[in-house]
Structure 1
Amino acid sequence: MIRESWKTIALARAEIITDLWEVAKAYAGRAAEWVLFLCMVVNIVEMLPGVNIAGWILNTVLGVQVVMLDIGGMSLGTMASHIREQGNAEAAKKADVTSKFLIGLMVVTLLLVSIGMLFPAIKLYTDMGEKGLILVRVVMTVIYGHVIHSLRSTSKTQPVPATPPAAVPDSAELEAIIRGILVPVLAQYRTDARADIAEQVKQALSLVAIAGEKEMPSVSSSDRKRLSPAPTSLASVRRMEEGYASRETRLSDAHQALLQEGIRPTGDTLSRRARCNRAVALNWLKAQKIAG
Protein backbone atom coordinates (compact mmCIF):
# COMPACT_ATOMS: atom_id res chain seq x y z
CA MET A 1 0.00 0.00 0.00
CA ILE A 2 1.43 3.37 -1.09
CA ARG A 3 1.41 5.92 1.70
CA GLU A 4 0.57 9.49 0.69
CA SER A 5 3.02 12.21 1.61
CA TRP A 6 2.19 15.00 4.03
CA LYS A 7 2.21 17.49 1.15
CA THR A 8 -0.49 15.63 -0.76
CA ILE A 9 -2.65 15.38 2.35
CA ALA A 10 -2.15 19.08 3.17
CA LEU A 11 -3.04 20.18 -0.38
CA ALA A 12 -6.17 18.05 -0.28
CA ARG A 13 -7.18 19.65 3.01
CA ALA A 14 -6.44 23.12 1.62
CA GLU A 15 -9.22 22.61 -0.92
CA ILE A 16 -11.65 23.07 1.96
CA ILE A 17 -10.88 26.82 1.85
CA THR A 18 -11.79 26.93 -1.84
CA ASP A 19 -14.99 25.01 -1.18
CA LEU A 20 -15.92 27.43 1.60
CA TRP A 21 -15.28 30.37 -0.74
CA GLU A 22 -17.54 28.77 -3.41
CA VAL A 23 -20.31 28.33 -0.85
CA ALA A 24 -19.84 31.91 0.41
CA LYS A 25 -20.17 33.23 -3.16
CA ALA A 26 -23.38 31.28 -3.62
CA TYR A 27 -24.85 32.77 -0.42
CA ALA A 28 -23.66 36.26 -1.42
CA GLY A 29 -25.18 35.83 -4.87
CA ARG A 30 -28.57 35.00 -3.36
CA ALA A 31 -28.35 38.02 -1.05
CA ALA A 32 -27.20 40.29 -3.92
CA GLU A 33 -30.64 40.00 -5.49
CA TRP A 34 -32.17 41.99 -2.60
CA VAL A 35 -29.42 44.62 -2.59
CA LEU A 36 -29.63 45.10 -6.36
CA PHE A 37 -33.38 45.49 -6.09
CA LEU A 38 -32.98 48.36 -3.57
CA CYS A 39 -30.34 49.98 -5.77
CA MET A 40 -32.72 49.70 -8.72
CA VAL A 41 -35.39 51.53 -6.75
CA VAL A 42 -32.94 54.39 -6.00
CA ASN A 43 -31.90 54.55 -9.68
CA ILE A 44 -35.52 54.79 -10.81
CA VAL A 45 -36.26 57.54 -8.29
CA GLU A 46 -33.17 59.43 -9.48
CA MET A 47 -34.46 59.45 -13.07
CA LEU A 48 -37.79 61.05 -12.10
CA PRO A 49 -38.12 64.74 -13.06
CA GLY A 50 -37.74 67.27 -10.23
CA VAL A 51 -36.10 64.79 -7.84
CA ASN A 52 -32.70 65.73 -6.43
CA ILE A 53 -30.74 63.18 -4.44
CA ALA A 54 -27.55 64.00 -2.61
CA GLY A 55 -24.38 63.17 -4.47
CA TRP A 56 -22.92 61.00 -1.73
CA ILE A 57 -26.08 58.84 -1.77
CA LEU A 58 -25.81 58.37 -5.51
CA ASN A 59 -22.12 57.57 -5.26
CA THR A 60 -22.81 55.06 -2.46
CA VAL A 61 -25.57 53.40 -4.50
CA LEU A 62 -23.27 53.28 -7.53
CA GLY A 63 -20.47 51.68 -5.52
CA VAL A 64 -22.77 49.14 -3.87
CA GLN A 65 -24.38 48.33 -7.19
CA VAL A 66 -21.04 47.77 -8.89
CA VAL A 67 -19.85 45.51 -6.08
CA MET A 68 -23.11 43.55 -6.01
CA LEU A 69 -23.07 43.08 -9.77
CA ASP A 70 -19.51 41.79 -9.48
CA ILE A 71 -20.50 39.37 -6.69
CA GLY A 72 -23.57 38.32 -8.66
CA GLY A 73 -21.48 37.61 -11.74
CA MET A 74 -18.96 35.48 -9.81
CA SER A 75 -21.67 33.61 -7.89
CA LEU A 76 -23.58 32.86 -11.09
CA GLY A 77 -20.42 31.26 -12.51
CA THR A 78 -20.13 29.01 -9.45
CA MET A 79 -23.80 28.07 -9.49
CA ALA A 80 -23.65 27.42 -13.25
CA SER A 81 -20.88 24.84 -12.71
CA HIS A 82 -22.92 23.18 -9.96
CA ILE A 83 -26.06 23.00 -12.10
CA ARG A 84 -24.04 21.64 -15.06
CA GLU A 85 -22.75 18.81 -12.88
CA GLN A 86 -26.37 17.93 -12.06
CA GLY A 87 -27.12 17.50 -15.78
CA ASN A 88 -29.08 20.71 -16.56
CA ALA A 89 -26.95 22.17 -19.36
CA GLU A 90 -29.54 24.70 -20.55
CA ALA A 91 -29.91 26.48 -17.18
CA ALA A 92 -26.13 26.36 -16.68
CA LYS A 93 -25.54 28.02 -20.07
CA LYS A 94 -28.02 30.82 -19.26
CA ALA A 95 -26.36 31.47 -15.89
CA ASP A 96 -22.89 31.43 -17.46
CA VAL A 97 -23.84 34.01 -20.11
CA THR A 98 -25.47 36.28 -17.50
CA SER A 99 -22.38 35.98 -15.29
CA LYS A 100 -20.04 37.11 -18.07
CA PHE A 101 -22.31 40.02 -19.01
CA LEU A 102 -22.50 41.25 -15.40
CA ILE A 103 -18.73 41.14 -15.00
CA GLY A 104 -18.36 43.04 -18.29
CA LEU A 105 -20.89 45.65 -17.14
CA MET A 106 -18.95 46.11 -13.92
CA VAL A 107 -15.71 46.62 -15.87
CA VAL A 108 -17.34 49.22 -18.16
CA THR A 109 -18.77 51.10 -15.15
CA LEU A 110 -15.42 51.26 -13.39
CA LEU A 111 -13.75 52.34 -16.63
CA LEU A 112 -16.14 55.26 -17.13
CA VAL A 113 -15.73 56.44 -13.52
CA SER A 114 -11.94 56.25 -13.78
CA ILE A 115 -11.85 58.14 -17.08
CA GLY A 116 -14.08 60.91 -15.68
CA MET A 117 -11.78 61.32 -12.67
CA LEU A 118 -8.53 61.23 -14.68
CA PHE A 119 -9.75 63.47 -17.52
CA PRO A 120 -12.08 66.19 -16.21
CA ALA A 121 -12.45 67.66 -19.71
CA ILE A 122 -14.52 64.67 -20.88
CA LYS A 123 -16.37 64.13 -17.60
CA LEU A 124 -19.53 65.47 -19.27
CA TYR A 125 -19.50 62.58 -21.71
CA THR A 126 -18.66 59.94 -19.08
CA ASP A 127 -21.56 61.22 -16.94
CA MET A 128 -23.88 60.72 -19.90
CA GLY A 129 -22.53 57.20 -20.31
CA GLU A 130 -23.04 56.45 -16.62
CA LYS A 131 -26.67 57.60 -16.84
CA GLY A 132 -27.15 55.23 -19.77
CA LEU A 133 -25.62 52.41 -17.76
CA ILE A 134 -28.15 53.08 -15.01
CA LEU A 135 -30.90 51.79 -17.28
CA VAL A 136 -28.72 48.80 -18.25
CA ARG A 137 -28.13 47.95 -14.58
CA VAL A 138 -31.87 48.18 -13.86
CA VAL A 139 -32.58 45.72 -16.68
CA MET A 140 -29.79 43.39 -15.53
CA THR A 141 -31.17 43.44 -11.99
CA VAL A 142 -34.44 42.04 -13.29
CA ILE A 143 -32.65 39.47 -15.45
CA TYR A 144 -30.39 38.49 -12.56
CA GLY A 145 -33.37 37.80 -10.30
CA HIS A 146 -35.00 35.70 -13.01
CA VAL A 147 -31.84 33.61 -13.52
CA ILE A 148 -31.39 33.11 -9.76
CA HIS A 149 -34.95 31.82 -9.42
CA SER A 150 -34.56 29.52 -12.44
CA LEU A 151 -31.44 28.00 -10.85
CA ARG A 152 -33.36 27.45 -7.63
CA SER A 153 -36.17 25.61 -9.44
CA THR A 154 -33.74 23.37 -11.34
CA SER A 155 -31.72 22.51 -8.23
CA LYS A 156 -34.73 21.03 -6.48
CA THR A 157 -34.64 17.27 -6.38
CA GLN A 158 -37.31 15.58 -8.40
CA PRO A 159 -39.60 13.30 -6.38
CA VAL A 160 -38.89 9.64 -6.95
CA PRO A 161 -42.03 7.84 -8.10
CA ALA A 162 -43.18 5.25 -5.63
CA THR A 163 -42.78 1.66 -6.71
CA PRO A 164 -46.20 0.10 -7.22
CA PRO A 165 -46.84 -2.81 -4.87
CA ALA A 166 -46.60 -6.28 -6.32
CA ALA A 167 -49.93 -7.69 -7.44
CA VAL A 168 -51.14 -10.51 -5.18
CA PRO A 169 -53.24 -13.16 -6.99
CA ASP A 170 -56.68 -13.86 -5.59
CA SER A 171 -58.08 -17.27 -4.67
CA ALA A 172 -59.33 -18.03 -8.19
CA GLU A 173 -55.96 -17.24 -9.75
CA LEU A 174 -54.17 -19.31 -7.12
CA GLU A 175 -56.47 -22.25 -7.82
CA ALA A 176 -55.78 -21.99 -11.55
CA ILE A 177 -52.04 -21.88 -10.92
CA ILE A 178 -52.20 -24.91 -8.64
CA ARG A 179 -54.32 -26.92 -11.09
CA GLY A 180 -52.18 -26.00 -14.07
CA ILE A 181 -48.72 -26.43 -12.56
CA LEU A 182 -48.67 -28.27 -9.24
CA VAL A 183 -51.29 -30.97 -9.86
CA PRO A 184 -49.60 -32.50 -12.96
CA VAL A 185 -46.21 -32.43 -11.23
CA LEU A 186 -47.57 -34.08 -8.10
CA ALA A 187 -49.42 -36.72 -10.16
CA GLN A 188 -46.27 -37.64 -12.06
CA TYR A 189 -44.30 -37.72 -8.82
CA ARG A 190 -46.93 -39.99 -7.26
CA THR A 191 -46.78 -42.46 -10.17
CA ASP A 192 -43.00 -42.60 -10.13
CA ALA A 193 -42.91 -42.89 -6.34
CA ARG A 194 -45.38 -45.80 -6.32
CA ALA A 195 -43.36 -47.70 -8.91
CA ASP A 196 -40.11 -47.11 -7.02
CA ILE A 197 -41.66 -48.12 -3.68
CA ALA A 198 -43.11 -51.31 -5.14
CA GLU A 199 -39.78 -52.27 -6.67
CA GLN A 200 -37.92 -51.57 -3.42
CA VAL A 201 -40.44 -53.67 -1.46
CA LYS A 202 -39.99 -56.61 -3.83
CA GLN A 203 -36.22 -56.37 -3.60
CA ALA A 204 -36.44 -56.26 0.19
CA LEU A 205 -38.71 -59.33 0.25
CA SER A 206 -36.32 -61.24 -2.00
CA LEU A 207 -33.40 -60.35 0.25
CA VAL A 208 -35.37 -61.48 3.32
CA ALA A 209 -36.20 -64.77 1.62
CA ILE A 210 -32.55 -65.38 0.72
CA ALA A 211 -31.45 -64.56 4.25
CA GLY A 212 -34.09 -66.94 5.64
CA GLU A 213 -32.87 -69.77 3.46
CA LYS A 214 -29.31 -69.25 4.68
CA GLU A 215 -30.37 -69.32 8.32
CA MET A 216 -32.48 -72.52 8.08
CA PRO A 217 -31.18 -75.30 10.42
CA SER A 218 -29.49 -78.32 8.91
CA VAL A 219 -31.63 -81.45 8.52
CA SER A 220 -30.68 -85.07 8.25
CA SER A 221 -30.64 -86.98 5.00
CA SER A 222 -33.77 -88.92 5.93
CA ASP A 223 -35.64 -85.70 6.73
CA ARG A 224 -34.36 -84.10 3.55
CA LYS A 225 -35.70 -86.99 1.51
CA ARG A 226 -39.01 -86.78 3.34
CA LEU A 227 -39.26 -83.02 2.85
CA SER A 228 -38.03 -82.96 -0.74
CA PRO A 229 -40.80 -82.77 -3.35
CA ALA A 230 -41.58 -85.61 -5.57
CA PRO A 231 -39.51 -85.83 -8.73
CA THR A 232 -40.97 -83.96 -11.61
CA SER A 233 -42.00 -85.97 -14.62
CA LEU A 234 -40.62 -85.30 -18.10
CA ALA A 235 -44.01 -84.13 -19.32
CA SER A 236 -44.22 -81.55 -16.58
CA VAL A 237 -40.78 -80.25 -17.46
CA ARG A 238 -41.76 -79.94 -21.12
CA ARG A 239 -44.94 -78.09 -20.22
CA MET A 240 -42.92 -75.64 -18.08
CA GLU A 241 -40.46 -75.06 -20.92
CA GLU A 242 -43.29 -74.49 -23.39
CA GLY A 243 -44.96 -72.06 -20.99
CA TYR A 244 -41.69 -70.16 -20.50
CA ALA A 245 -41.12 -69.99 -24.26
CA SER A 246 -44.71 -68.81 -24.80
CA ARG A 247 -44.25 -66.09 -22.13
CA GLU A 248 -40.99 -64.95 -23.69
CA THR A 249 -42.72 -64.75 -27.06
CA ARG A 250 -45.62 -62.73 -25.62
CA LEU A 251 -43.22 -60.36 -23.87
CA SER A 252 -41.13 -59.86 -27.00
CA ASP A 253 -44.20 -59.28 -29.20
CA ALA A 254 -45.73 -56.88 -26.67
CA HIS A 255 -42.43 -54.97 -26.39
CA GLN A 256 -42.20 -54.54 -30.17
CA ALA A 257 -45.85 -53.46 -30.36
CA LEU A 258 -45.37 -50.83 -27.68
CA LEU A 259 -42.31 -49.42 -29.44
CA GLN A 260 -44.18 -49.23 -32.74
CA GLU A 261 -47.10 -47.40 -31.07
CA GLY A 262 -44.69 -44.91 -29.47
CA ILE A 263 -45.49 -46.02 -25.92
CA ARG A 264 -42.64 -46.28 -23.43
CA PRO A 265 -42.30 -49.91 -22.26
CA THR A 266 -42.60 -50.06 -18.49
CA GLY A 267 -43.52 -52.77 -16.05
CA ASP A 268 -47.17 -51.73 -16.08
CA THR A 269 -47.62 -51.29 -19.84
CA LEU A 270 -45.68 -54.44 -20.75
CA SER A 271 -47.47 -56.64 -18.18
CA ARG A 272 -50.86 -55.49 -19.38
CA ARG A 273 -50.00 -56.02 -23.04
CA ALA A 274 -48.34 -59.46 -22.53
CA ARG A 275 -50.91 -60.56 -19.90
CA CYS A 276 -48.35 -61.49 -17.30
CA ASN A 277 -47.18 -60.42 -13.85
CA ARG A 278 -45.64 -56.97 -13.50
CA ALA A 279 -42.59 -58.36 -11.70
CA VAL A 280 -41.99 -60.78 -14.57
CA ALA A 281 -42.25 -57.90 -17.06
CA LEU A 282 -39.79 -55.79 -15.05
CA ASN A 283 -37.29 -58.67 -14.83
CA TRP A 284 -37.62 -59.25 -18.56
CA LEU A 285 -36.95 -55.57 -19.28
CA LYS A 286 -33.89 -55.62 -17.03
CA ALA A 287 -32.62 -58.75 -18.77
CA GLN A 288 -33.09 -57.11 -22.15
CA LYS A 289 -31.15 -54.00 -21.01
CA ILE A 290 -28.29 -56.15 -19.68
CA ALA A 291 -28.20 -58.22 -22.87
CA GLY A 292 -28.33 -55.09 -25.02
Structure 2
Amino acid sequence: MNEEELLAARFEEHRPRLRAVALRVLGSASEADDAVQETWLRLSRTDTTGLDNLAGWLTTVVARVSLNLLRARTTRCEEPWDGHETGQAADQADPEHQAELADSLGLALLVVLDTLNPAERLAFVLHDMFAVPFEEIAPIVERTPAATRQLASRARRRVQGATASGESDAARHRQIVAAFLAASRGGQFDALVALLAPDAVLRVDSTSAQWGAIPAHGAQAVARSFAGRAKAARPVLIDGAPGLAWGPAGRPRVVFDFTITDGKVTAIDLVADPDHLDRLNLQLLDMRSGHH
Protein backbone atom coordinates (compact mmCIF):
# COMPACT_ATOMS: atom_id res chain seq x y z
CA MET A 1 0.00 0.00 0.00
CA ASN A 2 1.51 3.33 -1.08
CA GLU A 3 1.31 6.57 0.90
CA GLU A 4 -1.76 7.86 -0.98
CA GLU A 5 -3.67 4.63 -0.41
CA LEU A 6 -2.64 4.61 3.23
CA LEU A 7 -3.86 8.20 3.65
CA ALA A 8 -7.15 7.34 1.95
CA ALA A 9 -7.61 4.36 4.27
CA ARG A 10 -6.98 6.50 7.33
CA PHE A 11 -9.47 9.09 6.06
CA GLU A 12 -12.15 6.42 5.58
CA GLU A 13 -11.76 5.47 9.24
CA HIS A 14 -12.78 9.02 10.19
CA ARG A 15 -15.46 9.51 7.51
CA PRO A 16 -18.48 8.48 9.68
CA ARG A 17 -17.60 11.00 12.39
CA LEU A 18 -16.86 13.75 9.87
CA ARG A 19 -20.17 13.18 8.15
CA ALA A 20 -21.99 13.19 11.48
CA VAL A 21 -20.43 16.56 12.36
CA ALA A 22 -21.29 18.08 8.97
CA LEU A 23 -24.81 16.62 9.02
CA ARG A 24 -25.65 18.20 12.36
CA VAL A 25 -24.09 21.54 11.49
CA LEU A 26 -25.73 21.79 8.06
CA GLY A 27 -28.93 19.78 8.45
CA SER A 28 -28.54 18.55 4.87
CA ALA A 29 -27.23 15.15 3.87
CA SER A 30 -26.17 16.32 0.41
CA GLU A 31 -24.30 19.34 1.78
CA ALA A 32 -22.73 17.17 4.48
CA ASP A 33 -21.42 14.81 1.81
CA ASP A 34 -20.02 17.83 -0.09
CA ALA A 35 -18.28 19.05 3.07
CA VAL A 36 -16.72 15.62 3.70
CA GLN A 37 -15.53 15.40 0.08
CA GLU A 38 -13.97 18.87 0.32
CA THR A 39 -12.23 17.79 3.53
CA TRP A 40 -10.71 14.81 1.72
CA LEU A 41 -9.53 17.05 -1.13
CA ARG A 42 -7.83 19.37 1.34
CA LEU A 43 -6.22 16.45 3.11
CA SER A 44 -4.95 15.00 -0.16
CA ARG A 45 -3.25 18.34 -0.95
CA THR A 46 -1.70 18.69 2.52
CA ASP A 47 1.71 17.55 3.70
CA THR A 48 0.77 15.30 6.59
CA THR A 49 4.33 14.86 7.80
CA GLY A 50 4.35 15.67 11.49
CA LEU A 51 0.54 15.72 11.68
CA ASP A 52 0.13 13.98 15.03
CA ASN A 53 -3.61 14.43 15.55
CA LEU A 54 -5.30 13.56 12.24
CA ALA A 55 -8.75 13.24 13.84
CA GLY A 56 -8.55 16.73 15.32
CA TRP A 57 -7.24 18.20 12.06
CA LEU A 58 -10.03 16.61 10.02
CA THR A 59 -12.72 17.72 12.47
CA THR A 60 -11.43 21.29 12.29
CA VAL A 61 -11.41 21.27 8.49
CA VAL A 62 -14.88 19.76 8.08
CA ALA A 63 -16.18 22.24 10.66
CA ARG A 64 -14.65 25.18 8.74
CA VAL A 65 -16.07 23.94 5.45
CA SER A 66 -19.51 23.39 7.02
CA LEU A 67 -19.46 26.84 8.61
CA ASN A 68 -18.65 28.43 5.26
CA LEU A 69 -21.53 26.55 3.62
CA LEU A 70 -23.87 27.60 6.43
CA ARG A 71 -22.84 31.25 6.13
CA ALA A 72 -23.20 31.16 2.36
CA ARG A 73 -26.72 29.78 2.75
CA THR A 74 -27.58 32.55 5.20
CA THR A 75 -26.12 35.17 2.87
CA ARG A 76 -28.37 33.91 0.08
CA CYS A 77 -31.32 34.27 2.50
CA GLU A 78 -32.20 30.63 1.98
CA GLU A 79 -34.12 28.74 4.60
CA PRO A 80 -32.46 25.57 5.93
CA TRP A 81 -34.48 22.43 5.43
CA ASP A 82 -36.27 23.88 2.41
CA GLY A 83 -35.46 21.50 -0.40
CA HIS A 84 -37.30 23.64 -2.96
CA GLU A 85 -34.98 26.60 -2.57
CA THR A 86 -31.62 25.15 -1.58
CA GLY A 87 -29.47 22.29 -2.71
CA GLN A 88 -31.33 19.99 -0.36
CA ALA A 89 -33.98 18.79 -2.78
CA ALA A 90 -32.41 15.36 -2.89
CA ASP A 91 -32.65 15.13 0.89
CA GLN A 92 -36.34 16.01 0.88
CA ALA A 93 -36.95 13.33 -1.73
CA ASP A 94 -35.08 10.71 0.26
CA PRO A 95 -37.02 9.64 3.38
CA GLU A 96 -33.95 7.80 4.68
CA HIS A 97 -32.02 11.06 5.00
CA GLN A 98 -34.93 12.77 6.73
CA ALA A 99 -35.41 9.81 9.08
CA GLU A 100 -31.70 9.76 9.86
CA LEU A 101 -31.80 13.38 10.97
CA ALA A 102 -35.09 13.17 12.81
CA ASP A 103 -34.16 9.96 14.62
CA SER A 104 -30.74 11.22 15.68
CA LEU A 105 -31.76 14.73 16.71
CA GLY A 106 -35.52 14.91 17.09
CA LEU A 107 -37.79 17.28 15.18
CA ALA A 108 -37.85 19.89 17.93
CA LEU A 109 -34.06 20.10 18.03
CA LEU A 110 -33.90 20.39 14.25
CA VAL A 111 -36.26 23.34 14.38
CA VAL A 112 -34.36 25.21 17.07
CA LEU A 113 -30.96 24.56 15.46
CA ASP A 114 -32.25 26.39 12.40
CA THR A 115 -32.91 29.48 14.57
CA LEU A 116 -29.28 29.72 15.72
CA ASN A 117 -26.76 31.82 13.86
CA PRO A 118 -23.95 29.86 12.15
CA ALA A 119 -21.35 30.46 14.90
CA GLU A 120 -23.78 29.47 17.67
CA ARG A 121 -24.82 26.36 15.80
CA LEU A 122 -21.25 25.26 15.16
CA ALA A 123 -20.13 25.90 18.73
CA PHE A 124 -23.08 23.98 20.15
CA VAL A 125 -22.76 21.03 17.78
CA LEU A 126 -18.99 20.64 18.16
CA HIS A 127 -18.90 21.03 21.94
CA ASP A 128 -22.16 19.53 23.15
CA MET A 129 -22.52 16.74 20.58
CA PHE A 130 -18.90 15.89 19.80
CA ALA A 131 -17.01 17.05 22.92
CA VAL A 132 -14.61 19.31 21.01
CA PRO A 133 -12.85 21.68 23.47
CA PHE A 134 -13.67 25.38 23.24
CA GLU A 135 -9.98 26.11 22.68
CA GLU A 136 -10.19 24.18 19.40
CA ILE A 137 -13.55 25.64 18.36
CA ALA A 138 -12.52 29.26 18.99
CA PRO A 139 -10.24 29.67 15.93
CA ILE A 140 -12.91 28.19 13.66
CA VAL A 141 -15.56 30.74 14.68
CA GLU A 142 -12.92 33.49 15.07
CA ARG A 143 -13.68 34.13 18.74
CA THR A 144 -11.80 33.78 21.99
CA PRO A 145 -12.38 30.56 23.95
CA ALA A 146 -14.42 32.51 26.50
CA ALA A 147 -16.60 34.07 23.79
CA THR A 148 -16.99 30.65 22.14
CA ARG A 149 -18.14 29.21 25.46
CA GLN A 150 -20.78 31.96 25.62
CA LEU A 151 -21.94 31.12 22.09
CA ALA A 152 -22.47 27.49 23.05
CA SER A 153 -24.09 28.40 26.35
CA ARG A 154 -26.55 30.75 24.65
CA ALA A 155 -27.38 28.09 22.06
CA ARG A 156 -27.75 25.44 24.78
CA ARG A 157 -30.30 27.52 26.68
CA ARG A 158 -32.39 27.99 23.57
CA VAL A 159 -32.14 24.32 22.66
CA GLN A 160 -33.07 23.11 26.14
CA GLY A 161 -36.09 25.39 26.35
CA ALA A 162 -37.33 24.80 22.83
CA THR A 163 -36.72 21.06 22.78
CA ALA A 164 -38.68 20.42 25.96
CA SER A 165 -41.66 22.48 24.85
CA GLY A 166 -41.35 21.54 21.18
CA GLU A 167 -41.41 17.80 21.70
CA SER A 168 -44.42 17.99 24.00
CA ASP A 169 -46.19 20.39 21.62
CA ALA A 170 -45.55 18.13 18.63
CA ALA A 171 -46.95 15.11 20.45
CA ARG A 172 -49.96 17.11 21.67
CA HIS A 173 -50.69 18.44 18.18
CA ARG A 174 -50.71 14.92 16.77
CA GLN A 175 -53.16 13.88 19.47
CA ILE A 176 -55.43 16.81 18.65
CA VAL A 177 -55.47 16.03 14.92
CA ALA A 178 -56.10 12.33 15.65
CA ALA A 179 -58.97 13.22 17.99
CA PHE A 180 -60.40 15.59 15.36
CA LEU A 181 -60.31 12.84 12.74
CA ALA A 182 -62.00 10.35 15.07
CA ALA A 183 -64.72 12.85 16.03
CA SER A 184 -65.28 13.77 12.39
CA ARG A 185 -65.65 10.15 11.31
CA GLY A 186 -67.97 9.41 14.22
CA GLY A 187 -70.14 12.46 13.68
CA GLN A 188 -69.37 13.66 17.20
CA PHE A 189 -70.34 17.30 16.83
CA ASP A 190 -69.75 18.33 20.46
CA ALA A 191 -66.31 16.70 20.46
CA LEU A 192 -65.37 18.65 17.32
CA VAL A 193 -66.54 21.93 18.85
CA ALA A 194 -64.47 21.19 21.96
CA LEU A 195 -61.33 20.78 19.85
CA LEU A 196 -61.89 24.05 17.96
CA ALA A 197 -61.15 27.59 19.12
CA PRO A 198 -64.32 29.73 19.29
CA ASP A 199 -63.19 31.84 16.31
CA ALA A 200 -61.77 28.91 14.30
CA VAL A 201 -61.89 29.23 10.53
CA LEU A 202 -62.08 26.80 7.63
CA ARG A 203 -60.33 28.18 4.55
CA VAL A 204 -60.57 26.64 1.09
CA ASP A 205 -58.45 27.20 -1.98
CA SER A 206 -59.92 27.75 -5.44
CA THR A 207 -59.60 24.09 -6.45
CA SER A 208 -61.36 22.71 -3.37
CA ALA A 209 -64.01 25.42 -3.78
CA GLN A 210 -64.67 24.16 -7.31
CA TRP A 211 -65.26 20.73 -5.79
CA GLY A 212 -67.89 22.16 -3.46
CA ALA A 213 -65.92 22.99 -0.31
CA ILE A 214 -67.33 26.01 1.53
CA PRO A 215 -65.41 28.31 3.92
CA ALA A 216 -66.67 28.51 7.49
CA HIS A 217 -66.08 30.75 10.50
CA GLY A 218 -66.63 29.90 14.14
CA ALA A 219 -66.31 26.61 15.98
CA GLN A 220 -69.90 25.48 15.36
CA ALA A 221 -69.81 26.22 11.63
CA VAL A 222 -66.46 24.49 11.17
CA ALA A 223 -67.65 21.49 13.21
CA ARG A 224 -70.75 21.18 11.01
CA SER A 225 -68.48 21.07 7.94
CA PHE A 226 -66.67 18.03 9.30
CA ALA A 227 -69.21 16.10 11.38
CA GLY A 228 -69.74 12.65 9.89
CA ARG A 229 -67.17 13.23 7.15
CA ALA A 230 -63.45 12.69 6.49
CA LYS A 231 -64.02 8.94 6.63
CA ALA A 232 -61.32 8.27 4.05
CA ALA A 233 -58.82 10.87 5.31
CA ARG A 234 -55.46 9.68 6.60
CA PRO A 235 -53.08 11.27 9.14
CA VAL A 236 -50.01 12.82 7.52
CA LEU A 237 -47.14 15.13 8.33
CA ILE A 238 -47.33 18.28 6.23
CA ASP A 239 -43.83 19.77 6.14
CA GLY A 240 -43.30 18.13 9.53
CA ALA A 241 -46.60 19.29 11.10
CA PRO A 242 -49.56 16.94 11.74
CA GLY A 243 -52.49 17.15 9.36
CA LEU A 244 -54.81 15.03 7.22
CA ALA A 245 -54.93 14.04 3.56
CA TRP A 246 -57.43 12.36 1.28
CA GLY A 247 -56.88 10.77 -2.10
CA PRO A 248 -57.45 7.60 -4.10
CA ALA A 249 -54.71 4.97 -4.44
CA GLY A 250 -52.56 6.69 -1.87
CA ARG A 251 -52.10 9.83 -3.97
CA PRO A 252 -53.24 12.94 -2.03
CA ARG A 253 -55.90 15.02 -3.75
CA VAL A 254 -56.80 17.20 -0.75
CA VAL A 255 -54.72 18.15 2.28
CA PHE A 256 -56.20 19.46 5.54
CA ASP A 257 -53.54 21.75 7.02
CA PHE A 258 -54.19 22.45 10.73
CA THR A 259 -53.12 25.51 12.69
CA ILE A 260 -53.11 24.76 16.41
CA THR A 261 -52.63 27.41 19.09
CA ASP A 262 -52.77 26.84 22.85
CA GLY A 263 -54.21 23.37 22.40
CA LYS A 264 -57.07 24.42 20.12
CA VAL A 265 -57.53 24.20 16.35
CA THR A 266 -57.66 27.81 15.17
CA ALA A 267 -57.64 27.22 11.40
CA ILE A 268 -57.95 24.43 8.85
CA ASP A 269 -56.79 25.09 5.30
CA LEU A 270 -58.05 22.83 2.52
CA VAL A 271 -55.37 22.55 -0.15
CA ALA A 272 -56.30 20.85 -3.41
CA ASP A 273 -54.34 22.85 -5.99
CA PRO A 274 -51.99 20.30 -7.65
CA ASP A 275 -49.06 22.72 -7.90
CA HIS A 276 -49.38 23.59 -4.21
CA LEU A 277 -49.65 19.91 -3.26
CA ASP A 278 -46.48 19.13 -5.23
CA ARG A 279 -44.56 21.68 -3.15
CA LEU A 280 -45.58 20.09 0.15
CA ASN A 281 -43.47 17.45 1.88
CA LEU A 282 -46.12 14.88 2.85
CA GLN A 283 -45.42 11.80 4.94
CA LEU A 284 -48.14 9.28 5.67
CA LEU A 285 -48.50 8.30 9.32
CA ASP A 286 -49.53 4.96 10.76
CA MET A 287 -53.05 5.51 12.09
CA ARG A 288 -52.54 3.10 14.96
CA SER A 289 -49.19 4.33 16.24
CA GLY A 290 -48.97 7.87 14.90
CA HIS A 291 -45.56 7.02 13.42
CA HIS A 292 -44.28 6.85 9.85
TM-score range, shorter chain: under 0.3
- Greater radius of gyration (CA): 1
TM-score (ref. length: structure 2):
0.22
* Structure with the bigger percentage of strand: 2
